Every structure is written in C-alpha cells, then in structure tokens.
Structure 1
Amino acid sequence: MDQSPLIDIGLPVALAIIMVGIGLSLTKEDFAVQARSPRASVVGLVGQLVLVPLVGVGVAVAFDLAPLLALGVVLVAASPGGATSNLITYLARGNVALSIILTAIASVAVIFTLPLWFDLGARIIPGADAFEVSVPLAQTFGLLLGVILIPVVVGMVLRARKPALSDRIERFVGVVGLVVLVLLIIGVALGERDRIVDLIVSVGPAVVALNVAVIVVGGLLAWICRLGRAEQIAIAAEFGVKNTTLSLLIAFTVIGSEEVGLAAAVYSIVMYITTFALVYGGRRLMRTAPGAG
C-alpha cells in the first residue's frame, strides 16, 4: 500500500493530539480516588486487556471471515477504549472518573498487549499465516510510546499548570478526533472502492456482534464483581467504544493493509449507533437505582 503524507505524518500527529486531550482530562485526584478504591479499575482493566481481545478472537473465528478481515476484528478488540467513551459514560450517568482512568491506563498498557493479541490472532485464524502480516513489537512499542504515553503525560502536566488553557484546548481536541476519524473512514472506502460493498457485507455482521458482545460482557463482568451501577455503565461503555483511530493507524502504518483497517472503519460507525442504546439504558438504570431521585 502506497502511503500518503496524510497517513505517514498526519495520522500519528492527529492521534497524539487526541491523546493529549485524554491527558488534559486527568488530574492527580482522579488517580487518588481510584487508588483508594481500586477494585473497579482492576476489574475494568483486566476485562479490557484480556477478556475483550478474547471475545474478538472468538468472533473472528466464529464468523469464518477472510483472514485479513478477521485480523482487523482482532485488532479492534485489542485496542483500548476511545476518548469518546468518557463522554458516553457521562451522558449515560456512569462513573466518569473511572472511565477516564480506564481509558488512560489501557491506552498505555496496549503498547505491550496489542502486538501480543494480534500475533495470537494471526496464529489461530485459519489462513492468516499465508499473508505474513504481524505487528512488530519493537516498532509498535516505539510508535505507541510517541503517540500515546508521551502525549498523555504532556496533557496531564498542562492540566496541572494551566487549567484554564487546558479547558479551551480540550474542546478543540474533540473536534480534531472526529475530523480525523471521518477522513480515515473515507480513506478506507476510497482505497477499497472496487469491492467496498462486498467487504462491508462480509465484515459488518462480525463487527456488530463484537460491539454488542463486549458491551454486554462489560456490564455483566461489573455486575458479577458486585460493582455499582455507575461503574457497570462506565465499564460497558469502555469496552464498547474503541479507539478506532489507533486501530487504523496500526493497520495503515505498521501492517500496511487497508483490508485489515476495514473492521475498524465499520466499527467506528457501529459503535456510535449502539451508544444511543447504551446512554438510554444507562440513564434508565440510574433512575431506578436505590436512592435515586
């Protein structure tokens, strides 16, 4: 795949800006609150980094997708929650602080876990080894260090030192994220325009199944672990709303395959449709919570 400057330079820069935005939403107190009662954070992180990728591998195999499309499903599942999950959690009346913490920590942790899950998927999915696609650990680590960890730290430092400026920048970051995601989806559609309909028909049901499954798994996991309703909503949102910009970055710049990135492009659309139901269900759940009203 021939890379354009927009993908080689613009995409990593845009993702770094988005991650600065996540850092801008974090304070020391956020970490202190979760440190005093870490059970919800631990449950959410273990589920995000282990259970959700396992669901992704299971969905990819169960739907008998073409190898590259299947690997795209695994890539999406192994990616962390997106910054939009924090907004969805807020609208659904979930625990926003927990959502922010899970997004930030999972975004850093996937520097190590994402290549491992993708490699596992490439070994398990029938026919995937014939394409010789992989996510090299060293290359991916360096890339994600630059576009995730460092920008998050920069955002946190800026929030601590210049809170008023941080508020203004944070609003701008959300617009950048949306514009970049739309451009990436258009780019995938143009790159595969000769067979885009067939590919979407092929991967669409699996992507919908993945999205619905991980939202349900998130809520059930939190319920089984006896977490509160606000925490159940936050974890369900975190599992369901993925950082598909990161998935597309990996597909384009590391793997070099638009077909692998197609699952992320379709998931980007699907997840915003299902979040309407999540917000409605979350608000309804909180209205009937003991002591509500």
Structure 2
Amino acid sequence: MSSDENGDPFGVSYNEMRTVTQRIHVIAQVTTLFAVGCRLLPRNFYGLEKGFCIGLFLQSLILPAIGCLIAIAFELTTLDALSMIATAAAPVASYVSVLTYWAGGNAALSVLLTAMSTTLSIGLLPLWFFVYSSVWTNSVFITASPEDVAMYLSIIILPMGCGMIVRALVPKAAKYLAKFLSFAFLVETIVVTSMTAILHPTQLDADWRIWAAAFVLPVTAYLLGFLSAFIFRLSYEKCVAVSMAIGASNSNLIISTARRILEHPEFILKIPEMYSFFAPIQGIAWALFYNRFYYVNDKYPNLFGSEEYD
C-alpha cells in the first residue's frame, strides 16, 4: 500500500474515494459523449480520410518520440522518463470530442481518432514503450489490457450512438441537450482533479522538472496537431480536431495499467497524474481560443483548406 492510501480523508476510506472518483469520471464521460453525439449524423463521418490519416500518424508515431525527447531534455529519472513515454504513447482521451465541439471543430473526426487510437493501443502502447524505454532500461514492460481498451471503446461508441439516435429523432431537443450536457466535462474536471489531489497528495510533491515536463507535453502536442494539419491544408474545423486529438492522451489508461501490472505503481504515476491535470485544462483554454478566433477562417477563406479540398 502506498503512502497515499494511509489515513481516511474526511472520514472516508481511500478505496471508497477512489471508487467514487472513478464513477464520477465514467458518468461524466458518458454524459459528454452523449452530448456530442446529439450534434452528429452519419454523413458527418464522410470525407475525413486525410485528416484521419494525419491525426493517426501524429498520435501513433510522432507523439511517443516527442515524449522521449522531453524526458531527455529535462533529464528525468528512469521511472519518470518511463511514465512520460507511456503517457505520450497512450491513445487519444475520450473527452477530446467535447473539447472539439466547444472549439467549433470537426467532432466526427475527433471521435474517429479516439476510437481508432484506442483500438490500436493494444499493440502500439507496448511497442513504443519498449522502443523508447530502452534508452533507460529494459526491465519494465507495460501492455494495454484488452478489458480496459474494450471499456474505453464502449464509453466512446455507445453513448455517442445513443446521442446520434436522439439527433435523428428529435433534432431540436438534441441541440439543447448537447449544449447543456456537454458541461458535465467541466464539472468532472474540477471534481475529479480535486479528489485526485486528496487521494494522492504525494504525487504533487515532485521536482520542478517533472512538473515542467508534464506541462510541456500537452502544449507541444496541441500546437503540433494544429500546425501539421494546417501545413497539409486541412479545413479550420479539421485542424482544430487534429490539434485536440493530439494534445490530450488517455492518461487514465496508463494509470489503470500501472496499477494492474506494477508492484509499486505510485513510483511511476507522478507524470500521468500531473498530465491528467494539465491536459484537460489546457484543452479547455485551446477550445476557447479556437472558438474565439474562428472568424479568421471566414475573414481569410484561402488560408485553410476547404471541406471539399480535404
């Protein structure tokens, strides 16, 4: 048992608080993905091939290498470097679609990138972790549990599908449901972040380099996603979707994997825990920024690619 598990904050046991946190997380994710589904129709998933390939290439091949470079640049210890690589190699976070929706981006593209990267993580997560962790050690190996992958896929697909059905049956009601229910993600970010800080107070006691590395990874990824999509002449909506997908990795998958396979997971969880704090907050900031500057796409129509072009 880690030091974080000693004591009962507010008279509630560690396991009870952890269970409540997990349930809040799942309920909020299901609610927000249902909300995004309320704004989608099957035809929204057509014509996304170019953006899908660019986003998947960046997330699956480039981002793990960036994680390795950040670990080297900040001279992280072996365990911290391993946790950085695992976080960078994780699939797209399920909350990305709601950030894309808020930003005025192509939510259908973000859904496809989330679902496919989650499916591929069964093979890609252990592959890239093995390749890049060898810079420090060959004694640690992680694999994504098929059960965890199936759970995250079900959280993505089922509520999204239900939302799309509601959109098809009652489009006016679906519009208002999407706006109202999407804020469940904001509530989750505040509540889960606070409860995580209570559950794992020692995770906050870290060297400045760990904090900096956990902050720099999502910043770099959000920028990389948008600029890469822009260079390849994607539309503004798809540039936003790629940016959001690359910027937010599913650190919860890394946390659950570490707890499942490592004897002392607390030693490798500092960066994923910090990243799970920075990535959604930065994502909200980027979503507001992209939404605010959407007028650039209207003012300079030739600056970005068109929907027909890509």
Match of 1:227 among 230, 234, 244: 234
1:188, 1:121 → 2: CA distance?
27
The answer (yes or no) to whether the contact 1:14–1:177 under 8 Å persists in 2 is no
Matched residue, 2:122: 111
SS across alignment from 1:264: helix
| Residues 108 and 186 of structure 1, relative CA distance in 2, 3 Å threshold | farther
CA drift of 1:38 comes to 1.5
Partner of 2:146: 141
State the identity as a percent: 23
Q: Deviations over 1:24-44 (max 9, x none)?
A: 4448x6564334341111211
Aligned equivalents of 2:82, 2:243: Cα separation in 1: 23
SS of the aligned residue for 1:242 comes to: coil
Q: CA shift at 1:106, angstroms?
A: 1.9
Q: CA deviation at 1:95?
A: 1.9
- 2:75 & 2:45 partners in 1: Cα distance? 40
Tell me, in whole angstroms, the C-alpha distance in 2 between the residues paired with 1:227 and 1:9.
42
Does residue 64 (structure 1) correspond to residue 90 (structure 2)? The answer is: no
| Contact 1:69–1:203 (Cα < 8 Å) also in 2 | yes
Structure 1 residue identity aligned to 2:196 = L
1:91 matches 2:91? no
Question: 1:149 and 1:290, CA in 2 relative to 1: closer, same or farther beyond 3 A?
Answer: closer
Equivalent in 88, 93, 96 of residue 82 of structure 1 = 93
Aligned residue type for 1:242: S
TM-score, normalising length from structure 2?
0.74
Moved more, 243-252 or 67-76: 243-252
Q: CA deviation at 1:117?
A: 1.7
Match of 2:11 in 1: none
Match of 1:189 in 2: 201
C-alpha distance in structure 2 between counterparts of 1:19 and 1:250, whole Å: 19
Change (3 A) 1:212 1:158: closer
Q: Once the 2 structures are TM-superposed, how far is the Cα of residue 148 of structure 1 from its aligned partner?
A: 1.8
After superposition, give the CA deviation of every residue in 1:77-128 in whole Å (9 maximum; x if it has no partner). Answer: 112222332232233222222222222322222232112222223212x2x3
- Say if 2:62 is the partner of 1:51: yes
Residue 53 of structure 1 deviates from its aligned partner by 1.4
2:290 pairs, out of 254, 258, 282, with: 282
* Residue of structure 2 equivalent to 1:245: 252
Deviates more, 1:251-260 or 1:226-235: 251-260
Secondary structure class of the residue paired with 2:92: coil
- Aligned-pair RMSD on alpha carbons? 3.5
* Matched residue SS, 1:230: helix
How far is the alpha carbon of 1:135 from its aligned partner?
0.8
Q: CA deviation at 1:55?
A: 1.0
For 1:184, the aligned partner's letter is T
Q: 143, 155, 159: which one pairs with 1:155? A: 159
Q: Report how far residue 14 of structure 1 moved.
A: 6.4
What CA deviation, in whole Å up to 9, does each residue of 1:175-199 have, x standing for no partner? 5676445433433324x5xxx43x2
Q: 1:100 aligns with which of 111, 123, 133?
A: 111
Question: Is contact 2:96-2:244 (8 Å) kept?
Answer: yes
Shift of 1:201: 1.5
Structure 1 window deviating more from structure 2 (280-289 vs 235-244): it is: 280-289
The answer as to whether partners of 1:22 and 1:100 remain within 8 angstroms in 2 is no
Q: What residue is the counterpart of 1:263 in the other structure? A: 271
The structure with the largest helix share of the pair is 1
CA-CA distance at 1:258 after TM superposition: 1.5
Partner of 1:207: 214
Structure 1 residues 161 and 14: CA distance shift in structure 2, 3 A: same
Q: Is the 8 A contact 2:100 2:241 kept in 1?
A: yes
Counterparts in 2 of 1:91 and 1:245: CA distance versus 1, 3 Å: same
Q: Quick check: 1:248–1:261 contact (8 Å CA) kept in 2? A: yes
* CA positional deviation for 1:240: 1.3
Going from structure 1 to structure 2, the CA distance change for 1:63 and 1:78 (only over 3 Å counts) comes to same
Report the Cα distance in structure 2 between the residues aligned to 1:46 and 1:22, rounded to whole angstroms.
26
Alpha-carbon distance between aligned partners in 1 of 2:32 and 2:117, rounded to the nearest angstrom: 12
Q: Tell me, yes or no, if the aligned pair for 2:32 and 2:95 is still in contact at 8 Å.
A: no
In 2, are the aligned partners of 1:223 and 1:232 still within 8 Å (CA)? Answer: yes
